[in-house]
Amino acid sequence: MDRTVDVVLPCLDEASALPWVLSRMPLWARAIVVDNGSTDGSPDLATSLGATVVHHSVRGYGAACHAGLEAATAPLVAVMDCDATLDPQDLAPLVDAVAGGGGVLAVGRRVPVTSAAWPWPLRLANRVVAHRVNRRTGLILADIGPMRVAPREELLILALRDRRSGYPVETVVRAAESGWRVVSVDVPYAARRGRSKVTGTPMGAARAVRDMTAVLGR
């Protein structure tokens, strides 16, 4: 099968997870690891495992995602975390939902495989974020998750501006307000490998809500 999907993997010190994640990449996809300042050898490891590596010095989840989008060349672009919480093999149904063409955004709805996979403070934070997004857009989403698939050219036209944690929220909001069809697809969600960048605490959850919903005021 010809390559139809570029998979953007924002990366900050994910050496413990990269071997598993990249070994699970479908044959029809190309992994683009966007290194955001790792100090654990992640870029060299990703290169040795066959991934395309993009170095992006401006810190921020959204900054890494957008750098990957700009580096992509395939018709469809997927974004997912590279901490082994998500399996690239589970991209297939999201790709199928988008492959028909037009403005379609597929968002993975995380289904925890264990109780430890998704700490309750972060799950609560996500519920608050999803409620606010739904209230603004009229969508019915249970999760604004880190796995997404959409057509590359249409994504670029959205001209997303957030370069921090609000990037997934802005993606959904701009897509909905531009008349796209937004679909939710269940995906298994496992415990991450390596050090967490977001602590599963009430304060960490509050910060996540603040950062992710800041874009709703724009």
The 10s digit of each residue's pLDDT in 111-136 is: 999 888 888 878 888 898 999 999 99
Nearest to 84 by CA among 143, 2, 19, 138: 19
Do 25 and 7 touch, CB atoms closer than 8 A? Answer: yes
In this prediction, residue 1 has a pLDDT band, given cuts at 50, 70 and 90, of very low
How far is the C-alpha of 99 from the C-alpha of 185, rounded, in Å? 14
Q: Domains in the chain, start-ordered, CATH in brackets? A: 5-217 (3.90.550.10)
Per-residue confidence (pLDDT) for residue 141, from 0 to 100: 96
Do 4 and 74 touch, CB atoms closer than 8 A? Answer: yes
Nearest to 123 by CA among 211, 205, 195, 198: 205
DSSP H or E run through 189: strand 181-189
